[in-house]
Amino acid sequence: MRTWRVGTFSMGLSLIMLGVMLFISQWFGFKLLHVMVSWWPLILVVLGVEILLYLLKAKEEKPFLKYDFLSIIFVGVLGTVGIGFALLSSTGLIDKAEAALEREYKTFDLPVLDQSLNETISRVVVNTNNHPITIEGTSGKEISMFGTYEAYTGSKEALVKRSEDYVSVQQKGDTLYVNVKGLPTDHGMFSYHSSLSGTLLVPNDIKLEVNSEFNQVTIKPRLLVSEWSVAQASHVSVQLQEKSNVLLSAVDVQHMEGDLNKWQLGENENAEADQPEAEEVTNGRKNGTYTVGEGTSSLQIIHSDNVSVTMVK
């Protein structure tokens, strides 16, 4: 009676196919994960073909099949690994792992936002979310925003494609609300973080209110002819022109920096009654004013940690 050791031929052919697939993947740049997911069903085909071929070619009426268990186990391990990759692929974990391995920390330009202001708008409110921002005064009649963002992304992946992806603009009555959005952040198994740094141009004759979430804010009002205010910032850096007329008021702040001779410090209304004057309290909150020119325009910093003033020409 002829004996056929089922599994030997399958193991050999499986090794040949695996080697060929790996060679092709290296030569043509195919991804190894895709190869492991796609090739494993051929193992079952080869094993079934081996049995059928023997049964068709065997001369005996009742051929005896004998299994090569070591070969079967080896082929089974290859098939199990392939099935495992297929299951992981169906859950999306392989795609996420592959994307995470391909990510690089890159810097991108933000799409530019241009928003015209109609005659009914007299006030702009900016919510910075958790991003540092630079606000600069202009003589135009529109607001614009641009800047950069940094993120771990793949070669063909972009987190921000339109200005609407990072900032929203809505008009309610005479007020234009500008909300800087948070960029996508993944806190899962393959987490990544992104950050944004933008510059917002605002007409210097429009009333402006900036609400920060204790992030850094840089203010460049130029020739301000209106009322601007910044609240709840960790650090406010103010650049004032020497020929401007601005009264800078700091209310309930921790530290004031700049030309100390121009700072007029006063007592903090929120301080305890038994505390000495604000300028003598090194760790307390304090109020102060900084006047440039006639001080006809107002710039107010409220409930912030640090305020620094720099004079520019």
Contact residues for 5 (Cβ-Cβ < 8 A; gap 6+) = 66, 67, 68, 71
3-state secondary structure of 249: strand
Distances (CA, A) of 250 to 72, 215, 233, 264: 80, 17, 12, 10
The phi, psi pair for 43, rounded to 5°, reads: -60, -45
What are 207's two structure tokens? 């009333």
What is the overall mean pLDDT for the chain? 78
279: confidence class by pLDDT, cuts 50, 70, 90: very low
State the pairing for strand pair 216-220/133-138: parallel
At 100-145, the pLDDT tens digits run 566 677 788 899 999 999 989 999 999 998 889 999 999 889 999 9
For residue 253, give the amino acid letter.
Answer: V
pTM of the predicted protein model: 0.65
pLDDT band at 175; cut points 50, 70, 90: very high
Domain range annotation of the chain: 3-102, 104-312
pLDDT of residue 176: 96
Listing DSSP states for 170-235 in one string gives EEETTEEEEEEPPPP-B-STT-B-EEEEEEEEEETTSEEEEE-SS-EEEEE-SS--SEEEEES-SE
Distances (CA, A) of 48 to 15, 67, 82, 275: 16, 13, 17, 90
- Give the Å distances, CA to CA, from 241 to 140, 220, 293: 18, 9, 10
pLDDT of residue 103: 66
Which residues fall within 8 angstroms of residue 76, CB to CB, at 6 or more apart? none
CA distance 95 to 66: 41
Q: What is the pLDDT of residues 55-70, one digit of tens each?
A: 676 655 555 556 666 6
Residue 295 buriedness (CB in 10 A; 0-12 / 13-18 / 19+)? middle
Q: Is it the case that residue 281 has pLDDT exceeding 50? A: no
Show Cβ contacts of residue 109 under 8 Å, excluding neighbours closer than 6 positions.
146, 147, 148
Tell me the two tokens of residue 199. Answer: 């510059």
Specify whether the CB–CB gap between 208 and 228 falls below 8 A. yes
